[in-house]
Each structure stands twice: as structure tokens, then as C-alpha cells.
Structure 1
Amino acid sequence: MKISVVLPAKNESAAIGQTIAQIQALQLIDEIIVVNDGSTDSTKEVAEHAGAIVVTHPYSKGNGAAIKTGARTATGNIIIFMDADGQHDPNDIPRLLEKIEQGYDLVVGARQRGSQASLGRGVANGLYNGLATYMTEQKVEDLTSGFRAVQADKFREFLYLLPNGFSYPTTSTMAFFRAGYSVTYVPIHAAKRIGKSHIKPLKDGIRFFLIIFKIATLFSPLKMFLPIAVLLFLIATGWYGYTLYSYNRFTNMSALLYTGSIMIFLMGLISEQVTALMYKDNK
């Protein structure tokens, strides 16, 4: 088993050297790949001095793009993805690898209580996990954790699905579930990051809603659209019953609600077929 560690890094010179040294101290890893995502500080130089293989983007393409570059560069049959900012403890790596050896295809480091960066992000991640659990009918403990170990060949199957931004953990986890691969979780504690966070509250708020819809469309869109369609249908029927009893007529509002219900159901049905094609085996 050859093991590669991929560290996406943007302006992480304060933490990257320490992170690499801790990984090397394990004496388990065959290669450490740092994807320097357009850093303007000395991230590249510090990482090279520490002994990592450094691949540099000429400009910042995003965390997901760095992950994809790292996955393409890695030569190991097992890839471990983790943050370069000191949040993830390299000493947890053997516990993730133990699960891989037991036959799992994706092992996610699930952050425990007190590990979230803020109350807002903790609430958001709780909603992500709940929705993903509903969609997959499997217990999802941490959908957005970036600390994970994967079978490299299976992960590369889904590179075309991964966004260039920050939601690669969500996309890859749901893709593994959809493909029927084995997913499990290992409890971890995420420390406070070293250096300045790249998170922006307003941008993250918009991203929250986009991730909600992405979760649905990546696994089973009909499970998201059908309850909304049924709710609209029931409201339309209730309103029709009220207007028929009170005014003895069928109103435009009832027609609009019924039409909306049918349209949303059909959108879900079409999305379901498109999603099935996304996961079609072309090999």
C-alpha cells in the first residue's frame, strides 16, 4: 500500500512546515504533495525546504482545484487529504488508514463537538449532515470535513464532478454514496487554525444554500423535489376546497399551485435521470 498525502495550501507559510514535519514523523507516508494555490507568501519555499513535493498554480484556482491537482499528481493507491493550516492532527492518520485496511473506500475524519470554527458553521454543518443522512439513508457524521483517506482510483472517478471551490468534501462524499462505495467515519478533534482564515461570511452564506441543493442533485433529486411537490399539491387542494365551498368556483390560485406542484415533480424526475447518467459507468 503506497500512501500519498495531499495538502492544498494558499498563504500557509506559518503552518505548512510544522504540518509536513509532523506527517514525516509518522514514517508511514510515501510522499507529501503540497499544492500551492497561487500563494503570495513563502508557502512554496517553506514546503520545499521541509521536504514536500510542491505543485504550484500560477494563480489561485480554489481549494477544490488544488485537490484535483493533488489527486492527479499523487502516485499512491491511497490518498490522504488534509488541511495545511494546523487544524488536522497528523497523528490521526493511522486511524484513518486502519479503516482503509478493513476494506472501506472513503474514511472521513468526523469533527467532534467543540471542533467547529464558529456557532454558525456548526449549525450549518449540522443541517448538511441531517439532509445528507435523509438523502442517503445512511448516518452521515461530517459531510464537510476536509480530512479524509480514499482509495485513489475510486476518487479519480469523480474528479469531473468536483467544484473548484470549497465544497469538494460534500461532492465527493455524496458521489461515493451514490456509487455504492463503502464510507465510514473516524472521530477527530480539529484545532484552531494557524494564520488567517480564508472564509468570508457573506460568501459562505450563499454557499450554504448552493451546497443544500448540490447535496440533493448529487444523490437523489426526487427525494428533495417530491416532498415540495406534495406540499404544494395539498395546499392547492385545500385552497380549492375552501373556494369551492365558499364561492362555488375554481380559482386561478388553485390552478397556479397545482401547476407548480406538477412542474416541481417533473423537474425532480428529470433531474433524477440526469443524475443517473452522471454516474453511468463508461469504462
Structure 2
Amino acid sequence: MLRAGRAAHAVGRSAAGGLPGPRRPRFAGQRPRLPGGAPEPGRDLSFPHCCGKRSGGRCDRPGRTSVRTGGFRPRAPDPRAHGPWTCRVHGSLRPRATRFRSGPQEQLGIALRTPVPVGAVGRSSSQGGHLVSRGLPAERVTVLIAARNERATLPALVTRLRECLPGPPEILVVDDASTDGTADAASRVGARVLSLPRHQGKGGALRQGFAAAAGDFVLTLDADGQDAPEDLVRLLERAREGADLVIGSRFLGRFEPGAISRLNHLGTLFFNRLVGVLYGVAVTDSQAGVRCFRRDLLERMVLQATEYEIETEMLLEAIRLSARIAEVPVRRMPRSAGSSSFSRVRHGLRILSVILRKRLP
């Protein structure tokens, strides 16, 4: 009976002089059909918005089907077929930028060479620091530690780094001509060691380490054990969200009792303010040793510092290069062994000299 009704409707249209009668509405995502209800030739039925590429056809953008389809007239451009979306089975839609992301690593955006826009929410991955994605290269992580006579604190620090960072990161220790066996202690716990034949200072050791690091992300950490390795995870996540330089700010976090002297605290606040006034960038910790860099930013920096002023110089170079700078809170703990070689007067004057020299034309 239903077929008879359809036949009568077709006869009625012919009798009316070929005028178009009521047509069944076309819904978005509906497969085009040829007369007789057969699917259109040359179309991949599992991808209803596809242009025929999966069947070997050539796409006639915009809005056209495969040249093999024959008989099916072009329709208006469909933004889901050629716009910022990609099609999946059963016609569901998903942003093209995330079509390969299925695991916890991919949800971070860490498996793609193109960074996720700043502000995207990241989550830690338990699958590894080598960022794996189908058909895409993995991104590597290097933790760079400049050390001089830190045999007492370095082994425990390297062990904690391996426990808290996802995957097997490269831990690179630059031994700045230590005399207490720092290089041997680092090697025994599995770190990669670069031994300098003569003392070059913290700045010189970091510059040598940057040149030798193999990671796409390079994290820096002091060897004295005053920084928590667990905080590096937040820096790495923020860098994967799009920041070029992430600073671990002790002032956004907290200082444990005895972690910093009052004079050093006031001196850092002064340098923070001076950088803000002269360079127009408000940072809360310009002297932080905990940082995360993107490899492409490091390759563009021009670094010359040899001592503790290296932290200030790296920040000013990032400002000069218009890098995306972010800060995350970190903890600062008192030193458990050894003593610091930082001199308030000598190194303070070197930091001031870098700030003023970089500002001059």
C-alpha cells in the first residue's frame, strides 16, 4: 500500500506538468542517494561527510563530491566537511586538533608539535615523559642541574626526580670542576654527567648544559636540594600548554623557615621591581633557579653570563624575544647539607650590571 501511494505521488507530479512537489527534507549528515534508494557511487559509507577520498576519488572543494559519484549534483559547502572539523564514523564531529588524542598524554596536548593554546587545562600523565602519539614524534624532557661540590645532596635529588617526573627524562648533571666526587655520585644514580675541566661558574655550567641537552623541554634545578622536584611537574604542564618560559616562583609559593635570609629576600624583591620598571614586565621571582624552557627559545637566546646573574640574563633575553612567560608557585626549603657560594655583594652587583646593560641601547 505504501509503494502504491508513492507511485501515485510520482504520477501526480508528472500530471502537473513536471512541477516539483513536496520533497523529503535533507538533514545534515544524511547520505546522498541515487534514484532507487542506492547509496551514491564512490562515497565511503562509513564517513558520510567524506568527499570520496577514502574511495580513491578526487575532492572538488568546496562542497562537491568525488568525481566518481556521477549524477549527484553539488550542494552548498558544509563547514563540517571542509572547515575546522573532521568527521568520524556515524557522522559525529570532533575538533581536528584533537582527533588523534585519546590517552592521558594526548589530552595534555603534549603529543603534538603544535602547542595547545595557553589556558588549556592539563593533567599529569602516568604513561611517560616521552610523549607518544600515533604517527607523531615524541617530545623529550631534560632536567639540567649545574653542580659544584654537591655530592651530599645530588644522589637523593636525582632519585626523587626519577620518581616524580613521568617517564624516563634525561637528567643531565654538569659538574663544574668539583673536588668532592660529585660526578661519580651522579653517575652511580644513573644521571648523565658532563664534567668541565675547569671552574666556569653557574652561568658557564648552564650554558654548557643547554648546548648538550637533548630535550624539547629543558628544566633547570639547583643541586643544593632546596627545591622540591615534585614542583617540576607543574612547570612542565604549563610549558606544554603553550608557555615558552615557565618560572617557578618562590614568592607565589612559600619559603620554609630558614630557606632564605632576610637580606637575600629583600634583594630579590628589589631586582623584581627594577625589572618591572625598566622592562615593563611584572615578575615575582627574577632570580628563581627552577625554570622550564622550550628548546626553540633557548636556541634563540644570546647568553654570556658566567655566575649567578645567568637567571636574570635568561629572563631579559626571553623578554627581548617577546617570549610567552608564565609563573607557577614552588616551595623553597632550607639547605640540608653543604654551603652556598652566593655572595650578596659581588653577585648582587653582577645582577645589577646585567639589568642595566641589557636596558641600554
State the TM-score, normalizing by the size of structure 2: 0.58
What letter is aligned with 2:296?
A: D
Contact 2:307-2:347 at 8 Å conserved across structures: no
Match of 1:108 in 2: 247
Q: Distance in 1 between matches of 2:342 and 2:331?
A: 23
Q: Distance in 2 between matches of 1:126 and 1:29?
A: 36
Matched, 1:53 2:192: yes
Matched, 1:215 2:215: no
Q: Distance in 2 between matches of 1:107 and 1:62?
A: 23
Give the 5 Å matches for 1:115-154. Answer: 117-154=260-297
Matched, 1:13 2:156: no
Q: Deviations over 1:218-240 (max 9, x none)?
A: 2x33xxxxxxxxxxxxxxxxxxx
What letter is aligned with 2:280?
A: E
Count of matched residue positions in the alignment of Structure 1 and Structure 2:
218
Matched, 1:195 2:337: yes
Q: Give the number of the structure whose alpha-carbon radius of gyration is greater.
A: 2
Q: Which has the higher helix share?
A: 1
What letter is aligned with 1:12?
A: E
Alpha-carbon shift at residue 4 of structure 1 (Å): 0.4
Contact 2:222-2:290 at 8 Å conserved across structures: yes
CA distance 1:166–1:200, change in 2 (3 Å)? closer
Q: Distance in 2 between matches of 1:28 and 1:154?
A: 24
Contact 1:95-1:186 at 8 Å conserved across structures: yes
Alpha-carbon shift at residue 205 of structure 1 (Å): 0.8
Match of 1:265 in 2: none
Question: What SS does structure 2 have at the residue aligned with 1:188?
Answer: strand
Alpha-carbon shift at residue 200 of structure 1 (Å): 4.9
Question: What SS does structure 2 have at the residue aligned with 1:12?
Answer: coil
Q: Distance in 2 between matches of 1:65 and 1:210?
A: 14
Match of 2:211 in 1: 72
Give the 5 Å matches for 1:90-109. Answer: 90-109=229-248
Contact 2:225-2:335 at 8 Å conserved across structures: yes
What letter is aligned with 2:310?
A: Y
Q: Distance in 1 between matches of 2:346 and 2:154?
A: 29
Contact 2:152-2:338 at 8 Å conserved across structures: no
Q: Distance in 2 between matches of 1:196 and 1:5?
A: 22
Output the aligned Cα RMSD: 1.5
Alpha-carbon shift at residue 206 of structure 1 (Å): 3.0
Contact 1:4-1:29 at 8 Å conserved across structures: no
Unaligned runs of 5+ in 2: 1-138
Match of 1:277 in 2: none
Match of 1:166 in 2: 308
Higher relative CO (Cα under 8 Å, sequence separation at least 6) belongs to 1
CA distance 1:135–1:28, change in 2 (3 Å)? farther
Contact 2:162-2:169 at 8 Å conserved across structures: no
Contact 1:5-1:29 at 8 Å conserved across structures: no
Aligned identity (percent) is: 28
State the TM-score, normalizing by the size of structure 1: 0.73
Contact 1:23-1:29 at 8 Å conserved across structures: no
Q: Deviations over 1:110-160 (max 9, x none)?
A: 1135355210100100000000111222211100111100012211322x4
Contact 1:38-1:59 at 8 Å conserved across structures: yes
